[in-house]
Structure 1
């Protein structure tokens, strides 16, 4: 597993992919938060907090992570190297986990520089330091859990097809439906079931962590969805190689 993880990370940074992913994430978030006028602009928000960043980041990750994962397995299948990899002393699950943690590591590296935002808001507060660090901490935890789920979905989409573009579209569609779909449907309902339906969506649990409460139900939810899509990816690979 470690060999696959190391190989994927080296692949990301030996080409422009890794640098491009980090640059796109930082530039898009930076422009909307600090430059462009609108609902996400920190200066227009009127409070020393990063809630606008944590509302914006999931939508950036929703497109960025599928772009990272779309080639993970689809490319191996297209080039015929998937069977070759599995002839090595490595199981299909180790292969999946290696690619999973490789892609997740790249996203974590992209997120880390945004900690500068915390220092900036801390300095801009009136008085200086007037910042709820507990909310920011749980919001970052929520973002990492959301990213881990998106990576698992992206790997599943990449295992479905040999076409990278198709894998990207499938991953974006599933991520969108899982993140916003349940809340979107719930907003159209007027009975009590709307609340129960939104509970099954990623956004509900992401927003819950963003309130500063580290609820085990949210952690279990994200881990369960991640494990589910990793298991589905494993099933697809076993079906393809058998």
Structure 2
């Protein structure tokens, strides 16, 4: 029996061209959702779209740099409302490692880039997508985070600080929508073989850790209409 609990639902995924974002988008499509895919690279989005179409699913592709579109990002929510009338699912998987360096060596350029990708983009997404998510009868938002936000480690100060800010912003949003059908959670995937992980741990054997397809079902589960948790940091392990 083919069970598609997200049939007819609309899901928007950032960072959808590769890694966890792409794997999650494909999993949501497998469960029946129509996908709105966002990433900077058109080619990567087309690869994800091919995988989705291979499952018989459908997707809308939006090549979009969340850090450089400025106020144009504010038009995303109204555009979603105009086309679909609501947004049922948001998975914000886009992120950057930034520079692994002593805090005293962080440059203004590295700081600005990491904050833009890991924190400011999330604020802008929440700002523009809160209305269409509230318009759903079971809106679900999942924001990817990292244990570095709660467990400081030498040289990871820039990444950890932006993720800590992301966690605070997201859990505050969850508290603010507590009396609505919208459920907002953070997801910590742990060690997963992604490009970001390879950059941080260049000598690590990627086959020795989890793959994006391993954690995608856990993220998709947080997007189901019967999910009741909100304001939590859900860990893969």
Higher helix content, 1 or 2: 1
Higher strand content, 1 or 2: 2
State the TM-score, normalizing by the size of structure 2: 0.32
User: Which of the two has higher C-alpha Rg?
Assistant: 1
Higher relative contact order (CA 8 A, sep 6+): 1
